[in-house]
Amino acid sequence: MARPFHLPNPLSMSNQRIKTPCVGLCSTVYGDHVCRGCKRFHHEVVNWNLYNEEEKRAVWRRLEILLVQVMAAKLEVFDPACLRQQLEQRQVRFVPEQSHYCWAYQLIARGSRMINRLDAYGVVLLPEFRDWALPDLREAIDREFFLLSEAHYERYIAPRFLIEGVESRV
């Protein structure tokens, strides 16, 4: 049974300057089409500073949708207010306008080795993941997020570049 989750209106970020999704682990410099760190496409990493706010928001939105898909399949955020309070108290960086499932990702990404009771943060693992160690779950989430981003690139972006390359040679 699918669990509902909140995806905020991308316009809710409209009054803020859009920052980069970069996490400092760029793999596009080594030839990856999708960055293993932030999951952006190579051309988005290269052109980020040339993008206008609407283009940046579109990238953030795609990343959020993919990450929420991965996270909602593994855990439930049953108390978003508690999660937010814990993140703020522990000074874990997160984007308040994003889904609370993205907040849970930031919590697990930054604290997987230190968290003993996830429920104290307003989050509970789904039954099939309750026996997983959080560092292992974090790696699985990151790997699935990357594979989903890579599949999105292969399905929607790569064919366009192939067609544009053929058309320019004709």
Is residue 6 very low, low, confident or very high in pLDDT (cuts 50, 70, 90)?
A: very low
Residue 161 has pLDDT above 80, yes or no: no
What is the rounded CA–CA span in Å between residue 139 and residue 105?
11
pLDDT tens, position by position, 46-62: 999 999 999 999 999 99
The residue-averaged pLDDT of 112-135 equals 96
- pLDDT at residue 158 in the model: 82
Q: Among residues of the chain, what percentage have pLDDT more than 90?
A: 65
- pLDDT at residue 26 in the model: 78
- pLDDT at residue 70 in the model: 98
Domain ranges of the chain: 10-169
pLDDT tens, position by position, 79-109: 999 999 999 999 999 999 999 999 999 999 9
Q: Which of 59, 131, 73 is nearest to 104 (CA)?
A: 73
- pLDDT at residue 4 in the model: 43
- pLDDT at residue 19 in the model: 84
Is residue 16 very low, low, confident or very high in pLDDT (cuts 50, 70, 90)?
A: very low
- pLDDT at residue 81 in the model: 98
Query: Left (φ > 0), alpha (ψ -120 to 50) or beta: where does 31 sit?
Result: left
- pLDDT at residue 165 in the model: 53
One-letter amino acid at 17 equals: R
What is the 3-state secondary structure of the chain?
Answer: CCCCCCCCCHHHHCCCCCCCCCCCCCCHHHCCCECCCCCCEHHHHHHHHHCCHHHHHHHHHHHHHHHHHHHHCCEEECCHHHHHHHHHHCCCCCCCCCCHHHHHHHHHHHHCCCCCCHHHHCEEECHHHCCCCHHHHHHHHHHHHHHHHHHHHHHHHHHHHHHHHHHHHC
- pLDDT at residue 18 in the model: 55
